[in-house]
Structure 1
Amino acid sequence: MKSFSDIPDEILHDILAHIFWVDEDVFACPTPASSRATDDDSDTREIQYDSNVPRAAVPLVCKRWLNVSTPLLYETIFLRTRPQVHCLARTLLNDYTLGQNIRKLRVGCGLGVPMNKILRFSPNITHLVIELVAEKEEHIIGLGAGLQAINPSKVVLIQRSMPWYNRRTLPLVTELCHYIPKWTRLTTLRYPYDRSPRQSSRDLITALGNIPHLRTLYVPCGYSIDRTLLVSLLGSLGDSITEIYSEAPLVDNEDSRMFLTLADFAKLRQKVLFPVPGPWAVRPYRACTREDDRLGLIWTA
């Protein structure tokens, strides 16, 4: 019988991949709770999502495990604090090849020059999650070179800062609006705003209309979003968008704004999908039906 050391690297890679795997719903969760890290911000190996398995210990088993697991360790990165951003930036400066392993990157802290360096050393990013929060304006400017170096297929924008901090994120939103239409691989995007139209939301709507291959759009609350914004979103992208997911379920007698919009854009009625309430391993979605339209705003006959 062969010993464990005789297992090919390809099989060992598949075995260790389960330790480093992060569920997509956890990675892109719109709540801050999904951005987790250990208390030790000095170790880049602890930047990723916490689990019961000590990931940092896997590369320490032996040199072979180190070689096999290092790319897996950097595939999905969570950055919660500025010290973690600085730490990862220094690591990539010392060995830029590590950045080529990063596929999913979630940033939940103030941005700045170190984040710019991380993006420039991570050209293979496919999933990018940015929480729009800033403590100081100087932490979120100057990302142009970094955003230009990547071409993700999925972008999730999360607005979790207090209203009085929104103006501080405007420079970041402006830069995102400039580069998002240039990402030719971008097919999925989460629109971060719900109500209260602001300059940043209007700029982002304009950018969405210029994305060449956008197919899937996520919105926080499909039925309560400001009607003017929703009309702009659905109207400009109605022909190319195939699915529009609401993160909030359909609420009886409180969805008039959504139905009024769908009445104006009949072709989108089957594209706007709402989550089905209940405990699900994989949550199903459904379009609104005649039975949902209790106010008779769409199906009047």
Structure 2
Amino acid sequence: MAENLPNELIGEILQYVLHVPEEKFQDVSEVSPFSCPSHFPSAAVLAVCKRWMIVATPLLYQVVIIRSKAQAQALERTLRGQKEFGTCIKKLRLEGGYGDATRKIILASPNVSNLCISLAIRSSDSTKGLCKALATINPSCLVICDSQKALSNASLSSLVSTLIGCFAIWTNMLRIHLSPVTSNCSESIIPSLANATSLQIVTIPLSFLGINPESLSSLTTSKSLKAIQIFSHLGNKSEEEDSDRLNDTMRRHPDLAALVSIVKRAHGPLSDAIINIAAPTDPSFFPMAHASPEVRELVWNRIIQLATDFDFCWCRSSDCEEQIALLNSTRSSISVVSKTFQRLALPYIYSHPILMENSSMKPFALALERNPLLGGYVQSIMYATQFWSDSYEYRQYLPRILQRTPRVSRICGVHSDFGYIWAPSEFLSFSWADFETLAKIAGRNVISLDKIAVYDDSDDVYGVGDVDEQLQSPAAFGLLGNLRLLECDMAVAFNVEASLISHDWLANLESLNVSYCNPSFFDVLSCLDLNSLREVVIKFECSQSIRGFLRVHGNKIQALYVDGNSNDLSVLAFCPRLTTLSLRVYQFPDPKIFLSNHPQPFITKIVIAHPDFTTSSSINTSSGNAFFSSVDFSALPALRELQIIVCQWPCNEYDIERSVWVQWSSDLAKKWKIRLTDGEGRHWRPRLATPKRSKG
């Protein structure tokens, strides 16, 4: 069937694969949007068949992105042999100078209408070819990317001077997009735009870097300029100061104020939710007026359910707070539309309540007390992961909530960031009495306890008190027969007498995540069968009780996260069925951890996490060199991936040459055929390299 399709229709289909969005081509961010290559190269479409190659080639060459000297030289060779390809180029993005190859590319591309040029030019990057060729084209849209670093060299100065000279001769240039301006172009390029004979629109983002508002006043002398569009992001507090300075400048320059328009842009997943709603044409319109009351209620019930429901995927989302704020606003709005809406919405609102702060606990608890039926609706309790757990409201009302929610199945922390200097605990704290109440009231329904911190009733929140340690009975665990996920701090000392513990407790527990605990907690777990256990996360230094736990249950565990700073932890010996091993370390783990007397046939992935670091700059290069040169993975024949969370791949040609991550990735692949990946699971794909000239 596909062979019967006309070329025009095949071209329309392939356009979706080869299309580069306008906003991506014009992106002026410090890190290029093209720095992370796609795992599906666009050129792969050309290799499907000869017909696809004929149709797709003009589409592929419509937008050309050049990010290295090797790419520029390869394109120049292609255009030299296939001159018709150059006529297809409509948009050209150059993220460097790239020598004389750039001149030949531009001369071979007479139809370029959109040009993007980077001013992140280093002294080693030649712009002679680019400068010679700029006057030979006449683009209608120009995009200038700048650098946060103030650069000063002859190549950059020559490029800026050439651009300024071209503004007066580019008669087709109607629009120019500038990046957040730094000293690389703010003092020269912006004022020179007044000389552009046909320029109509200047676009500048109002960002954290800010602009020099006074430099914009020189644009008022332009005879063709119609608008200066300054884009800012909704809710971006870092731009408020820049906006104030711009407003002050416009008050001093009324002519500038007439040109400037500040455009608010939404960003992130909420951008799709901000829409313009048209005013009703008939205010008397009543939806489903001719339907029966039963049908209307069924339809409204379904609509309200969709509008007020909670998506558990939000719990791990970085923008969870924004999503929840929008959801809570929607729930409140729906509840006050009418009595019918309120009646229909209550079961859905109370099925997954969200407690964003301590003060929300009191009204929630009182509502459950006034109307006991509401407690039967509660299936989960979500809470902000930054709670002041020692507040009066918290201690008083949490037990009253737990006593009235017999159907609760999940207690789940969601991401929240209040920006406190002294951050509250990210866990919801339970006294041991609260935990026992939960187990007695809702134990058989509970399947997930996510981010809870259980402390002894006689101690402080984390079990650090002045009284003697009291031993608690672990019987509450026996009431949680359906619990599958437990992420907790367990600062409670337990009585581990065999007569108090039944081996079949927590029979369905699949995932265990412990940030801190009393050693007796693992002693209790070592007495259980835990036949369903598959994933274990231990975020503190291994003790004797943890070693005992791994010795008992290690043969069930498939994914393990453990402290890797100890060289005497025989993880491979304890856990022969591991498929993923994650090590929490300060720099790099001791290579001895990966040695084993017997091959480990199941481990396919190792993760190295540095919880104390946020960027790769904190990594000690010599420590990394020592690790990669001495590590022996011969006991792990199935290992295919080594993920280092703080790994950061270089984003430009200059950084690639100096990146230790690229070198380590190459060494790992050559010696062990293992991929090195970053925190997002991306491996390094070698760029096209410039052929080295032979000596002699």
TM-score range, shorter chain: 0.7 to 0.9
Residue 273 (structure 1) aligns with: 262
After superposition, where does 1:121-270 map in structure 2 within 5 Å? 121-136=108-123, 139-160=126-147, 162-165=149-152, 168-192=155-179, 194=181, 196=183, 200-221=185-206, 224-233=210-219, 235-237=220-222, 240-247=225-232, 251-252=239-240, 255-266=243-254, 268-269=257-258
1:156 deviates by: 0.6
State which drifts further: 260-269 or 84-93. Answer: 260-269
Distance in 1 (CA, whole Å) between partners of 2:61 and 2:36 is 14
Residue 607 (structure 2) aligns with: none
Residue 17 (structure 1) aligns with: 15
1:34-79 per-residue CA deviation (whole Å, 9 max, x = no partner) reads 13365xxxxxxxxxxx3x5442221122221111110011111111
1:110 deviates by: 3.0
Q: How many corresponding residue pairs?
A: 267
In the alignment, residue 159 of structure 2 is paired with which amino acid? L
Distance in 1 (CA, whole Å) between partners of 2:212 and 2:83 is 44
In structure 2, the residue corresponding to 1:185 is in which secondary structure?
Answer: coil
In the alignment, residue 236 of structure 1 is paired with which amino acid? T
In the alignment, residue 229 of structure 1 is paired with which amino acid? S
Residue 307 (structure 2) aligns with: none
Distance in 1 (CA, whole Å) between partners of 2:165 and 2:78 is 29
Find the partner of 2:25 among 27, 30, 43.
27
Change (3 A) 1:253 1:102: closer
In the alignment, residue 36 of structure 1 is paired with which amino acid? S
Residue 662 (structure 2) aligns with: none
8 Å CA contact 2:211–2:242 kept in 1: the answer is no
Distance in 1 (CA, whole Å) between partners of 2:274 and 2:165 is 34
In structure 2, the residue corresponding to 1:173 is in which secondary structure?
Answer: helix
Find the partner of 1:100 among 87, 95, 111.
87
RMSD: 2.8
In the alignment, residue 228 of structure 1 is paired with which amino acid? E
Change (3 A) 1:85 1:247: farther
Distance in 2 (CA, whole Å) between partners of 1:185 and 1:277 is 31
Distance in 2 (CA, whole Å) between partners of 1:282 and 1:119 is 42
In structure 2, the residue corresponding to 1:90 is in which secondary structure?
Answer: helix
8 Å CA contact 2:66–2:72 kept in 1: the answer is yes
Distance in 2 (CA, whole Å) between partners of 1:112 and 1:262 is 42
8 Å CA contact 1:159–1:192 kept in 2: the answer is yes
Residue 45 (structure 1) aligns with: none
Distance in 2 (CA, whole Å) between partners of 1:245 and 1:219 is 5
Residue 44 (structure 1) aligns with: none
In structure 2, the residue corresponding to 1:163 is in which secondary structure?
Answer: coil
8 Å CA contact 2:146–2:182 kept in 1: the answer is no
In structure 1, the residue corresponding to 2:166 is in which secondary structure?
Answer: helix
TM-score by structure 2 length? 0.36
Distance in 1 (CA, whole Å) between partners of 2:57 and 2:207 is 41
8 Å CA contact 2:231–2:265 kept in 1: the answer is no
In structure 1, the residue corresponding to 2:87 is in which secondary structure?
Answer: helix
In the alignment, residue 35 of structure 1 is paired with which amino acid? F
1:177-236 per-residue CA deviation (whole Å, 9 max, x = no partner) reads 11122112111102345355x7x5343234311212212111232794223312223x22
Change (3 A) 1:172 1:144: closer
Aligned-pair identity in percent equals: 26
1:270 deviates by: 6.7
Q: Highest Rg: 1 or 2?
A: 2
Distance in 2 (CA, whole Å) between partners of 1:13 and 1:227 is 46
Residue 683 (structure 2) aligns with: none
Change (3 A) 1:121 1:195: closer
1:136 deviates by: 2.5
After superposition, where does 1:28-67 map in structure 2 within 5 Å? 28-31=26-29, 32-36=31-35, 38=37, 50=38, 53-67=40-54
Distance in 1 (CA, whole Å) between partners of 2:27 and 2:125 is 27
Residue 646 (structure 2) aligns with: none
Change (3 A) 1:118 1:247: farther
8 Å CA contact 2:96–2:121 kept in 1: the answer is yes
In structure 1, the residue corresponding to 2:32 is in which secondary structure?
Answer: helix
8 Å CA contact 1:71–1:101 kept in 2: the answer is yes
TM-score by structure 1 length? 0.78
In the alignment, residue 275 of structure 1 is paired with which amino acid? K
1:120-147 per-residue CA deviation (whole Å, 9 max, x = no partner) reads 1111111111111223266112434421
Distance in 2 (CA, whole Å) between partners of 1:33 and 1:17 is 23
Change (3 A) 1:276 1:69: closer
Residue 582 (structure 2) aligns with: none
Residue 634 (structure 2) aligns with: none
